[in-house]
Amino acid sequence: MTTLTVNIQNEKDLPVLQEILNRFGLAYTVNADGEYPFTELEIASLVNTKQDFIEGRTTARNWDEIEEDLNRAYN
């Protein structure tokens, strides 16, 4: 399976693209700006990380790992 991410600048293009994908029988999901579907595991990890920070028990993360998370969330 291959995943294609498309950033749509003009909202009027979305229905046209959806129609094309439907005609080809392709499955797709639509995420609006500002929405990011965090999993329950990711949410729990964020809560634990926050608590570790508050309690002074943080550990350093590799920048490549942080950059990968940011790219996944915002690209």
- Cβ neighbour number for residue 42 with a 10 Å cutoff: 13
Please state whether the predicted TM-score (pTM) of the whole model is above 0.85.
no
Per-residue pLDDT, averaged over 26-50, amounts to 81
- What's the pLDDT tens digit per position in 12-32? 999 999 999 999 999 988 877
**Could you tell me how far CA 13 lies from the centroid of its own chain?**
21
Q: Look up residue 59 and give its two tokens.
A: 């550990």
Which DSSP helix (H) or strand (E) runs through 17? helix 13-23
